Amino acid sequence: MEPARQADLTRQRILEAGYAEILRHGFQAASVASILVDTGLTKGALYHHFPSKKDLGLAVVEEVIRGYLNTVMFLPLRMAERPLAGLLALLDSKLAITEEALRFGCPLNNLMQEMSPVDEDFRAALNGVLCEWQDAIRDTLLRAQGAGEVRTDVDCHAAALFIVSAWEGCTGIAKNMQSIKTFSACMSQLRAYVVSLTPP
């Protein structure tokens, strides 16, 4: 295997292990030693790609979390030929929650709660992902509004902010209650809100 390709694979292994460690324990309690055990790498190999634990954490936000949301949410919304139907289909796909998500919650939300008050670089990176999510939903609602699928009196920016906030709230409450039923009930109400934006 070419050295550059090997280096890319090594970096990706570290990112994935770092993400898993942060998801389980939070960033501040995340253990570099555990990441090394999970990857089988040396400390020197890790710090070659990420000079500090913080650099790794920020890369997890920008590449793993943002990358995942871009694949499963942002791109599908932007590519949907029928924007409102695309948003409702996305909500329908999220009415059920996996056991891992129920146990550990949303990694974006977890890091926002943990790191935004204590580290400006983390706050800015997390805010960037959050704003991209809100923008994707706002643009979807605006396209739907232009197609006559959303009422003309709806403030699409405010509605997108509410949708993202409620979505994260549903995940956070379900995590605390450890209740799939709670998550489904909450997300069903969010879906009903989106439907209520349509003309009579």
- Looking at the predicted structure, is the pLDDT value of residue 1 above 70? no
CATH code of the region 61-196: 1.10.357.10
Which tens digits make up the pLDDT trace of 28-82?
999 999 999 999 999 999 999 999 999 999 999 999 999 999 999 999 999 999 9
- pLDDT number for residue 3: 61
User: How does residue 4 score in pLDDT terms, banded at 50, 70 and 90?
Assistant: low
Q: What is the mean pLDDT of residues 11-25?
A: 97
Dihedral-angle region of residue 103 (phi above 0 means left; psi in -120 to 50 means alpha; beta otherwise): alpha
pLDDT of residue 123: 98
DSSP alpha helix (H) spans, 94-155:
99-104, 107-115, 120-146
> What is the CATH number that goes with domain 1-51?
1.10.10
The CA-atom distances, in angstroms, between 64 and each of 26, 56, 83, 165, 169 are 15, 11, 26, 21, 21
For 50, the token pair is 């990420």
Question: Where are the domains positioned within the chain?
Answer: 1-51, 61-196
Confidence class for position 5, pLDDT limits 50, 70, 90: low
The band of 96, judged by pLDDT with boundaries at 50, 70 and 90, is confident
